[in-house]
Amino acid sequence: MRVNFNKKFRKRGIRFSPAICALAILLSGLNAQEQSLIEVDASVDKALITIGDRITYSLIIRHDADLHVEQPGPGANLGQFEIKDYSIIDPVELDGRIVQQFDYQISVFDTGRFVIPPFPVAFASSDTARDYQIIQTDPIEITVESVLTAEDNEIRDIKPPQNVPLDYTGWLIIGGIGLIVFAIAMGAFYYWRYRRRGEPLFRKETIRPAHEIALEELFVLSQEWPQMLENGEHKILFSRLSEILRRYLENRFFIKAMEETTFEIAVSLEELELDENDQSCLISVLEFSDLVKFAKYVPHQNEVVKQLEEAQNFIDATKLVFEAVEHKIEVREDEQESGLMQAVVQHNNTNSNTPLKQKTDIK
């Protein structure tokens, strides 16, 4: 069907130019082509819940195969909702595009209307590109109702008076005094015993380097991981590996790695200006550990060996080593004599009121 736009708009006093129409169609085509590079959708399985119910929040990303998309992690910001579980659906290819799905099990313990904020997804034109762009999903509103019924909200009668309990204040005072006396007696006894043996009462604690502690824990884990993997304790295995690396980061670089997510640790390491290979090695181990802990991924034996080796390589590459430097100063006899003369002259200058008698013959 052909539509004459000029006749249609002349009735309203508007002249529709064919050139303007062609330009609008071209711009809309370019905009549609740009927007078709990546699409993100978010949905929930239910929008009306009660307190404590879990919701499945699904994030679906559709993008071209050449596009690099930053994978959302388990520490996403979903507003007032708590993330209880996190799973990754295997990506599929549909009509030449990659479709990825990430499911979050979330919950909230309050009533009212809550909004899941827009979920940001970072993407770039290629794996080596640095100019990341952000695309966001639409916010989703969730209504949370109380589990109480109208009968539960009714005012109840006042409970009857209770009997006053016995006063144990006196017994507590006597017991506290007895404990203090016992503690003083035991302290005097241990002090007398250590003095008798010639041992110090308080021992100095040797502070070990962070890499020694981490490598020792890593060695113990390397001896136990085959049995843990056989017993199906792969989640505990990679939890221990992640904690070893996070404690090492806290003791070595003084960052709060135990309280930070993998993404926040990566940002902290960039501020420290560490080597990029070392950073990528550490982040790879932490992301693989998150995959096993939160996405229920079952690792193979060769993958476990690889992650343990990369963890050890990172610790060896970033450990702090102290080297003892000894300075040896040799003084000749003539330098000793000249130093002695300089000391005498300096003493005479500083004590001009009480001159020092010197002998004319110095052997």
For residue 314, with 0-12 CB atoms within 10 Å meaning exposed, 13-18 middle and 19 or more buried, which class applies?
buried
Average pLDDT over residues 78-88: 89
* pLDDT of 134 strictly over 80: yes
Take residue 318 and report the two structure tokens written for it.
């970033």
Determine the pLDDT at residue 204.
61
For helices 276-294 and 262-272, give the axis angle rounded to 10 degrees. Answer: 170
Residue 84 CB contacts under 8 Å (≥ 6 apart), including other chains? 54, 105, 106, 107
Determine the pLDDT at residue 96.
83
The candidate with the shortest Cα–Cα distance to 289, out of 60, 90, 89, 73, is 73
Determine the pLDDT at residue 10.
40
Determine the pLDDT at residue 14.
42
Predicted confidence (pLDDT) per residue in 289-342, tens digit = 999 999 889 999 999 999 999 999 999 999 887 665 554 444 455 545 555 455
Residue 296, sorted as left (phi over 0), alpha (psi -120 to 50) or beta, turns out to be left
Rounded Cα–Cα distance for residues 15 and 6 (Å): 6
At 356, the pLDDT band (50, 70, 90 cuts) reads very low
Determine the pLDDT at residue 352.
45
Q: Which of 53-62, 127-136, 217-226, 240-249 has the lowest mean pLDDT?
A: 127-136
Determine the pLDDT at residue 7.
39
* pLDDT of 225 strictly over 60: yes
Average pLDDT over residues 244-272: 90
Predicted confidence (pLDDT) per residue in 35-60, tens digit = 468 899 999 999 999 888 999 999 99
Average pLDDT over residues 153-182: 83
Predicted confidence (pLDDT) per residue in 337-350, tens digit = 555 455 544 655 55
* pLDDT of 33 strictly over 60: no
Rounded Cα–Cα distance for residues 339 and 327 (Å): 20
* pLDDT of 34 strictly over 50: no
Rounded Cα–Cα distance for residues 128 and 159 (Å): 71
Average pLDDT over residues 27-37: 51
CATH class assigned to 38-145: mainly beta
Rounded Cα–Cα distance for residues 109 and 161 (Å): 34
pTM: 0.37
* pLDDT of 182 strictly over 90: yes
